[in-house]
Structure 1
């Protein structure tokens, strides 16, 4: 006997199981399309950055006496060569779980649950102070008028009276 809620949860979990596979496929598609887009680029800078720097090139040459190359203003991370190197490494799909080659010392290793359970109450927001902080003397405020400790200028008894 199942209820409508159980059927709804099962239907949602089926799509969640497929989600991981879809995400893996999506990253593969992105990697492939970005590699195809970056490989035919032959300029030193990317198209977007080349346009930005050529717009400002006239202004920069007028301000200085020497001519500067636009590539000098751009980090190597934004150059097409770096982008191509990023997508050079292929993403290989994992084989079926039955075909995995797991070493014996790893497959025989037993993973135990944690020794301590988390307490059931809400976690503390204050941090635990170390012993060195607890042993330090607390600073006592001093009065800015008379210089004595234990009170401030508002409660000072040695202050001159106003008449």
Structure 2
């Protein structure tokens, strides 16, 4: 079977189109708005399947987070193990303070809202809000996708798509 040739804006769009063709969990998800419109919500930005301009905004946001306020760093002194091995000292960067803040002032809008804005863009975010939905509705979609991905990674999970075959008994000789 010949694969269709994609004529798109770039690799991210090609990946999304291919994901949609094969009904992948990485395909964009339709979100029906209260006003009857439908928005296509891309997979979470961490999967790298955003258009170039959306990915730029997302990575700018990630860079900004580096300047958010943190709890104090944790210093772990050098340790000598019972076998004589020495574990060097280490400083672990403090956790981000919640709610996120910069120079003591809370980040507004909330970081989770800003992440959705970066991922879908200002025009689609305006449509989302005008259509009676919020960033929380996008996070519900992303959360569901995350659970589906986790289920695929964990073959022990209920309803796993991984089929285990019978293992023959070992020879006793």
Q: Same fold (TM over 0.5)?
A: no
Structure ranking higher in strand proportion: 2
TM-score of the pair, normalised by structure 2: 0.22
Structure ranking higher in helix proportion: 1
Q: Which has the higher contact order (CA 8 A, sep 6+)?
A: 2
